Structure formats: C-alpha cells, structure tokens
C-alpha cells in the first residue's frame, strides 16, 4: 500500500464508508501539543484522532506539525477548533483538518456559518488558500474535491443548542452533531451529572442521537472511557471518542507503579 493509498483508506472517506453501513467510528482525543504523540496516536488502528484546540494544550502554532505527523502516519486528522468563528474554522481546514468539530453551536445560523466555512463557493464561503494543497507535490485539489473531503460536525452542548436541535440537524452542509456531554449537563442545569446518574441527561443525549438518525446525519459523542463509548455506540451514536492521550498516559504511569511496587509474594524465593 502506498502512502497515498493509506491516506485515502484512513481519510474522511473511511469515516463516511463506516457511516454508510451504520457502523460506529472510534476516535482518540489529543490534548498534548506534541507531534510525536500525535503520530503515535495516528499510527494506531483508530478511525480518527481529534486534536483539541479548544481545551487541549495545542495552539494554532503547534497544529501544522501535529497534522503533518498524523498524515505521515497515514491518517487524515480531525480538529476541534477553539471557537465557532469562521476564521478559526477556515484555518483548521487550510492546515489539513479532514474533520472539523465546532464547539458551542447554539442555532441554525451558527450551524450554517460553520458548514459554510468548511466549503468553497458556491456551496460555502471558505476563502481560497489551502496551505496543505500548496505543500503537496501535486498541488491543491480542485475546490469540489476538497469540499467533499471535509466532514463538518457541530457541537450541541448548550440549552439553546438543544432548543434549536431540529433546525441545526437539518442545516445543509452539517454532516452531524457531536455532543459535549459535560457542557450539555452544565448548561441545562444538571451540574456535573452524567447519563449514568441522571435520567434527564441520559434522555437529552438520546434525543440528540435520535434527531440525527432521523435526519440521516451522524451523531457523535465525547466519551470519557471505553465503557461509555461502547454503551452509546449501542444506542446509535456513530462517532465516539474513546480515550484522551493525557488519561492514557496517566493510567499507564499508575499501572507501571502499582506493578513495580507490588509487595513480594510471601514464601516466593526472592521474597
């Protein structure tokens, strides 16, 4: 398999192929602003890796080298942008994001602006300047091909977003809704409750999943662990984060320490 074949196999087309078959895609989440970490995450078998510019440590300065490393590992990357303004979204796509996750989308107007920022006219309002295209040996792809390669996911994670859910989901150019369950619970008055301990939060999450499925859009969910990801895949979500690089590392450190510091077994020869 050539590098190019690998990119195609693990590009947004891979996600779309899973979704056409109504199968879940599983993602890793990167909060560490490090191209080596990004490369390691991207080299694994996950369907995509999301670089978090909203709450992760990476800034727009680290993004080019992180996305470059992920592409070198054969993965077309995802980026959660810092905010929903079109300039921020256009920078992420120019830098090579294949999936853009847009936070705090509260209305159909927000959703339409996010979708427009991901695509060139006449469909959208993205300004021409695909940096990644200039770096490629064969130059920038034509506008329609670039448009087809971008997945636009808007985050519903506020009360206003829930109230506008049907209009957001119906917005042309929006490929799906990715739920931030922490902000959703906070914004809807449930504090730090989760679907595990608050039936109303559970019902809110299911409502978003059902609205997406009814409109033939992708329902995505930020999940804090494997159990949550598997649970919501079973309830219809089709893009699920599984683990964050910081928590993977923290757990590995704790596991290594508990293994090395375990008390010797009484009666064993070296006890």
Candidates 180, 181, 187, 220: give the one binding Mg ion (CB under 5 A): 180
Q: Which of 125, 182, 206, 246 binds ligand 3PY (CB under 6 A)?
A: 182
Q: Which of 41, 181, 204, 212 forms a contact with ligand 3PY (CB under 6 A)?
A: 181
- Distance between CA atoms of residues 114 and 121, nearest Å: 14
Rounded to the nearest 5 degrees, what angle is found at the Cα of 211, between the Cα atoms of 205 and 215? 150
Under the criterion CB under 5 A, does residue 210 sit at the interface with Mg ion? no
Partner touching 65 among Mg ion, ligand 3PY, none, CB below 5 to 8 Å by kind:
none
Q: CB atoms < 10 A from the CB of 204, how many?
A: 22
231 has catalytic annotation: no
- Contact between 183 and Mg ion by CB under 5 A: the answer reads yes
How is 105-117 classified by DSSP, letter by letter? --SHHHHHHHHHH
Q: Name the one range near ligand 3PY by CB under 6 A: 36-44, 109-117, 146-154, 174-182.
A: 174-182
Q: Site residues for ligand 3PY, window 151-170 (CB under 6 A)?
A: 157
Per annotation, catalytic residue among 55, 136, 196, 251: 55
- Is 242 buried (19+), middle (13-18) or exposed (0-12) by CB count in 10 A? buried
Largest CA distance in the chain: 77
Which of 117, 42, 115, 35 is closest to 76 using CA atoms? 42
Residue count, binding to ligand 3PY (CB under 6 A) = 7
Residue 147 contact, options Mg ion, ligand 3PY, none, Cβ 5-8 Å cut-off depending on partner type? none
DSSP letter (8 states) at residue 27 = E
Chain positions 195 to 224 lying near ligand 3PY, rule: CB under 6 A, are 222
Between CA 158 and CA 144 the distance in angstroms is: 33
Footprint on this chain of ligand 3PY (rule: CB under 6 A): 55, 157, 180-183, 222
Q: Would you name the residues annotated as active-site residues? A: 55
């Amino acid at each position: 398999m050539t590098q190019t074949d690998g990119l195609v196999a693990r590009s947004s087309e891979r996600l779309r192929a899973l979704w056409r078959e109504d199968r879940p895609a599983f993602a890793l989440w990167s909060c560490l602003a490090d191209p080596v970490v990004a490369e390691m995450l991207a080299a694994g078998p996950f369907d995509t890796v999301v670089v978090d510019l909203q709450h992760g440590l990476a800034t727009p300065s680290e993004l080019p080298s992180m996305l470059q490393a992920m592409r070198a590992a054969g993965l077309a990357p995802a980026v959660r942008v810092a905010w929903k303004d079109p300039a921020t979204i256009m920078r992420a796509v120019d830098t090579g994001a294949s999936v853009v996750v847009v936070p705090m989308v509260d209305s159909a107007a927000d959703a339409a602006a996010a979708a427009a920022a991901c695509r060139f006219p006449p469909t959208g309002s993205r300004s021409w300047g695909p940096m990644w295209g200039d770096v490629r040996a064969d130059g920038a792809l034509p506008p329609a091909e670039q448009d087809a390669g971008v997945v636009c996911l808007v985050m519903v994670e506020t009360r206003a977003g829930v109230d506008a859910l049907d209009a957001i989901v119906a917005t042309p150019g929006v490929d799906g809704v990715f739920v931030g369950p922490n902000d959703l619970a906070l914004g809807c008055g449930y504090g730090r409750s989760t679907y595990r301990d608050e039936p109303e939060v559970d019902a809110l999450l299911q409502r978003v999943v059902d609205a997406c499925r009814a409109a033939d859009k992708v329902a995505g969910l930020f999940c804090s662990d494997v159990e949550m990801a598997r649970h919501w895949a079973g309830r219809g979500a089709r893009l699920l984060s599984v683990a964050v690089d910081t928590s993977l590392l923290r757990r590995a450190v704790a596991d290594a320490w508990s293994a090395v510091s375990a008390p010797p077994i009484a009666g064993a020869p070296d006890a």
